[in-house]
């Protein structure tokens, strides 16, 4: 098995997705989630770009100092993985690593369009399924993922 340092295991990633289900997701919720992510990033001086979408509509986008257009490209590639698989980009990549391979080598998808690197998470609404994505790019992939999980947890518990 190929290991990714500091990343939760598959069981923990699956548990996060079961727990981080919203009752609704409005434009205002997207704003609150984006604001929480910006606050977390500023507290940590993290150079990240943040993107939140419901379906094809971008509801929130912020690029903090230290980021570039490359972060937007990473967001698009990670987001496409979530849209295709309905699971976080880190979980999808972890499933391939658990089989002793990589997403790039075995998914048969164009790596210029898809990246199973941590940082994109499905927005799952109870009774509606996956309706969107929240994505962070700029840190090591396990940290991008952890920031999204922390923000979603705050949104659900407040």
Residue 158 — pLDDT band, cuts 50, 70, 90? confident
Residue 5, domain member (yes or no): no
Residue 19: CA count within 13 A, CB half-sphere: 13
Residue 3, domain member (yes or no): no
Of all residues in the chain, the percent with pLDDT exceeding 90 is 94
Per-residue pLDDT of 7-44, as tens digits, reads 889 999 999 999 999 999 999 999 999 999 999 999 99
Token pair for residue 87? 């699971």
Residue 78, domain member (yes or no): yes
Residue 119, domain member (yes or no): yes
> In CATH, what number is assigned to the domain containing residue 121?
3.30.450.150
pLDDT at 3 over 70: no
* SS3 per residue for 35-71: HHHHHHHHHCCCCCEEEEEECCEEEEEEECCCCCHHH
Residue 21, domain member (yes or no): yes
Between CA 157 and CA 21 the distance in angstroms is 11
Residue 85, domain member (yes or no): yes
Residue 112, domain member (yes or no): yes
- Read off φ and ψ for residue 156, nearest 5 degrees: -70, -35
Range of the domain at 30: 10-157
Residue 1 — pLDDT band, cuts 50, 70, 90? very low
Counted domains in the chain: 1
Q: Quote the pTM value.
A: 0.95
* pLDDT recorded at residue 21: 97
């Amino acid at each position: 098995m190929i290991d990714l340092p500091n990343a939760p295991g598959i069981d923990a990633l699956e548990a996060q997705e079961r727990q981080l289900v919203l009752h609704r997701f409005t434009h205002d919720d997207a704003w609150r989630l984006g604001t929480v992510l910006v606050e977390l990033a500023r507290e940590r001086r993290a150079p990240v770009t943040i993107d939140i979408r419901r379906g094809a509509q971008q509801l929130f986008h912020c690029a903090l100092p230290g980021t570039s257009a490359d972060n937007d490209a990473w967001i698009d590639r990670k987001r496409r993985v979530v849209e295709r698989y309905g699971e976080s980009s880190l979980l999808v990549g972890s499933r391939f690593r658990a089989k002793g391979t990589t997403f790039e080598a075995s998914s048969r998808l164009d790596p210029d369009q898809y990246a199973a690197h941590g940082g994109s998470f499905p927005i799952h609404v109870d009774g509606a399924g996956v309706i969107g994505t929240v994505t962070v790019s700029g840190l090591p992939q396990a940290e991008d993922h952890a920031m999204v999980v922390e923000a979603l947890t705050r949104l659900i518990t407040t």
